[in-house]
Amino acid sequence: MNNPLLQPFDTAPFSKLLNEHYLPAIQNLIQATKAEIDAITSNPEVPTFQNTVDALERTGLQLDRATSIFFNLNSAETNDELQQIAQKVSPLLSEFGNDILLNEILFKRVRQVYEARKTLKLSPEQQMLLEKQYNGFARNGANLREEDKKTLRKIDADLSKLKLTFGENVLAETNAFQMHISNEADLSGLPEGAKEAAALEASEKGKDGWLITLDYPSYIPFMMYADNRDLRKKLALAFGSKGFHNDKLDNQQNVLQIVNLRHQRAKLLGYASHAHFVLEERMAETPQKVQSFLQELLEKAKPAAQKEFDELAAFAKERDGIEKLQKWDGTYYAEKLKQQRFDLDDEKLKPYFELKNVINGVFTVAEKLYGLQFNEVQDIEKYHPDVKTYRVTDTEDILVAIFYADFHPRAGKRGGAWMTSYKPQQIKNGVNERPHVSIVCNFTKPTASKPSLLTFNEVTTLFHEFGHALHGMLANTTYKGLSGTNVYWDFVELPSQILENWCYEKETLELFAMHYETGEVIPMELIEKIKASATFHEGMQTLRQLSFGMLDMSWHGSDPSHIKNVKAFEKASFSGTQLYPDTPENCMSTSFSHIFQGGYSAGYYSYKWAEVLDADAFAYFKEEGIFNEKIADKFKRYVLSQGGTQDPMELYVKFRGKKPNPEALLKRAGLL
């Protein structure tokens, strides 16, 4: 009982946690949750909403909290030992999840309540919980024969391990590559800040000179500014070939096994494909709808993308005699063309985007829209010194949420940016338990002479993840399973993507974009240039996103058993969206963590889907004023606080007064 995960705790007890605590705690809490479920199934009374559905929803809270701490650390602060524990924990949890979903007595009780639902006078939220529970059983094998249930368990256990291995391989490949540069001439074109960061990276690794890595804050500036084309090529090939080296970190077989197991699972459950299974509980509903949605956008975007690409190729040829534009040229020449066309350079902008100020800026936006106050505190435990902790309160100083923020890359942290949670919001025994929410990013680190200065892209990333965080923080539902971001996956990106829009507005930028040395507010002319350049290469950007969505649907929309060669299959999928020549050494699928490790399988299209929603919703704010309290209150009341308690389209229409119009997106993107 000395295990901190088995004691009562409010905020995560990071300082007390040792690696040896996780496995025994999770094993112990699985048994405790089984006892809670046994109490429901052995109840002699007739099944009711309270004694079955509500009771089931309240089980396993301590287990959920322990596993969320464990898996969050395995993403943000992992090590070899933690990864080995994850390989043991994942199948255990998968098996336990199946123990619940395949428990016949439990399902029978839930089904009895479900069949009597019309006579029960349930609230809309209770109806949604009942439906979600019933579908959870029915969609995950409760009606299968015993033999098929065994097969399902085996598939789920294998999948949980394969997804972990996929992610571990990508992280190991990212950490393994270093481009060591000893001749300063090879850094020609690189801004001073990026050179200083590369020198810091080298000195931290005990090397002279400069180190370029595959972490975004190192990789992107090099691809954007370095004049040395051969080194850009070397870096791009390393980045694009993660998990594709036919060695022990190779992910090709993992990809094939994952898609085949997902397909077998879907067929076992009576679905035509994994995409059919997934999309049944999405706004999009069917693979056909997703395909036609992507196709419609492709028809609008492709002519614009081709025109932009041809202009870029002509520009590179005229400027430097580049005969054939390659992938490692794209970002470099796009930045040069953007500088020429708009007289705008990320390096001119970065001094106005000191991380500390941008954080204060996003807090001020949340205060103006939703009345939130963020107070940094030191009495909440952290898992790493880089992490910042805040108490979030409302206008009456009542606690709304605990907020963790972790901004810089390090060896134990996977790439990218994400929002997650350590404690869900729910109303329990009449008490509204407030959530503990976290965002994790990989932004440019401070150096000896400069604080952390963000690119504009990093600014929008921070606003994006903070939009997800607001969805978690402002949750106000009775049940944890319907709270915050527990919504249809193609609705979950609306709160994050809409917040990015504020980054382009003068009213917002003047709140936080101050020069880190002089304190000067960002000049109006730079704001105008940011707005003017917002749709630069939008055709190519849209085509890129569509290509990822189409690749995802190719992997998951039909029987993959005939696929023998990952690269050849991917190449065929990309053929309709391809602009650059193919690079034989590279393969995207082997490091496409969103769909093979994260939760975006058959769901990558949702970024574009949510863009339709966010463009339409932000047009409403623009009509009334971007800090209009009435519109902000409607967005909070009908979107941010409601979680998954109602159908997302119904919530959207309550907020907006009508269904979304895709024209708002096409107009914003300059594609109309």
Q: Considering the domain boundaries, does residue 470 fall inside one? A: yes
Question: Residue 346 has what pLDDT?
Answer: 85
- Residues 616, 565: contact at Cβ < 8 Å? no
Instruction: Specify the residue for token string 């978690």.
Output: 472
226 and 114 in a common domain: no
Question: Buried (b) or exposed (e) across 31-65, using 16+ Cβ within 10 A?
Answer: eebbeebeebbeeeeebbbebbbbbbbebbbbbbb
Q: Which two tokens stand for residue 20?
A: 């040896």
Q: How far is CA 466 from CA 191, 360, 551, 563, in A?
A: 28, 12, 28, 39
Share of the chain above pLDDT 70, in %: 100
Q: Is 542 a residue whose pLDDT tops 80?
A: yes
Look over the chain and give the mean of its residue pLDDT values, rounded to a whole number.
Answer: 96
Which residue out of 465, 500, 505, 611 is catalytically annotated? 465
Give the model's pLDDT for residue 662: 84
Shared domain for 398 and 514, answered yes or no, is yes
pLDDT at 563 over 70: yes
Is the model's pLDDT at 1 over the cut of 70? no
Q: What is the mean pLDDT of residues 157-178?
A: 96
What's the rounded Cα separation, in Å, for the pair 303 and 158?
43
Indicate if 106 and 196 belong to the same structural domain.
no
- Confirm whether 666 is domain-assigned: no
pLDDT interval class at 661 (50, 70, 90): confident
- The answer to whether 178 touches 211, Cβ cutoff 8 Å, is yes
Q: Are 496 and 418 in the same domain?
A: yes
Give the tens place of pLDDT for each residue, 504-529: 999 999 999 999 999 999 999 999 99
Residue 92: domain span: 4-143
**Residue 103, domain member (yes or no):** yes
- Cα distance between residue 649 and residue 658, in whole Å: 9
| pLDDT value for 670 | 84
Q: How many domains does the chain have?
A: 3
Res. 284: pLDDT tops 70: yes
Structure tokens at 152: 């399902």
Per DSSP, what are the bridge partners of residue 419? Answer: 439
220 and 106 in one domain?
no
CATH assignment at residue 128:
1.20.1050.40
Pair (355, 494) in one structural domain: yes
Residues 530 and 381 in one domain: yes
Q: What is the mean pLDDT of residues 179-190?
A: 97
The residue among 4, 132, 122 whose CA lies nearest residue 65 is 4
Percent helix, strand and coil across the chain, each to the nearest 5 = 60, 5, 35
Query: Domain for residue 329, yes or no?
Result: no
Q: Which two tokens stand for residue 111?
A: 């089904």
465 catalytic residue (yes or no):
yes
Question: Kind and range of the H or E element at 294?
Answer: helix 287-320
> Are residues 520 and 455 part of one domain?
yes
CATH code where residue 425 lies: 1.10.1370.40
Q: What is the pLDDT of residues 580-615, one digit of tens each?
A: 999 999 999 999 999 999 899 999 999 999 999 999
Q: For residue 312, what pLDDT is reported?
A: 98
Task: Note whether residue 190 is domain-resident.
Answer: yes
What is the band of 667 on the pLDDT scale with cuts at 50, 70, 90?
A: confident
Look at residue 254 and tell me if it is in a domain.
no
Nearest to 372 by CA among 350, 397, 349, 348: 397
- d(C-alpha 379, C-alpha 436), whole Å: 14
Which of residues 211, 240, 269 is at a domain's end?
A: 240
Reported as a single tens digit per residue, the pLDDT across 92-149 is: 999 999 999 999 999 999 999 999 999 999 999 999 999 999 999 999 999 999 999 9
Q: In this predicted model, what pLDDT tens digit does every residue of 343-378 receive, in sequence order?
A: 998 888 999 999 999 999 999 999 999 999 999 999
Q: Is 362 inside any structural domain? A: yes
Considering the domain architecture, whether residues 357 and 439 belong to the same structural domain is answered as yes
Is 650 part of a structural domain of the chain?
Answer: no
Q: Does 446 share its domain with 517?
A: yes
Four-point Cα dihedral 631, 637, 641, 646, nearest 10: -120
- Inter-residue contact 387 to 404 (CB < 8 Å): yes
> 415 and 490: one domain?
yes
Cβ-based neighbour number of residue 516 at 10 Å:
18
Which of 534, 552, 573 is where one domain is finished? 534
The pLDDT value recorded for residue 420 is 97
How confident is the model at residue 227, as a pLDDT? 98
Same domain, 65 and 197: no
End residue of a domain, out of 487, 503, 534:
534
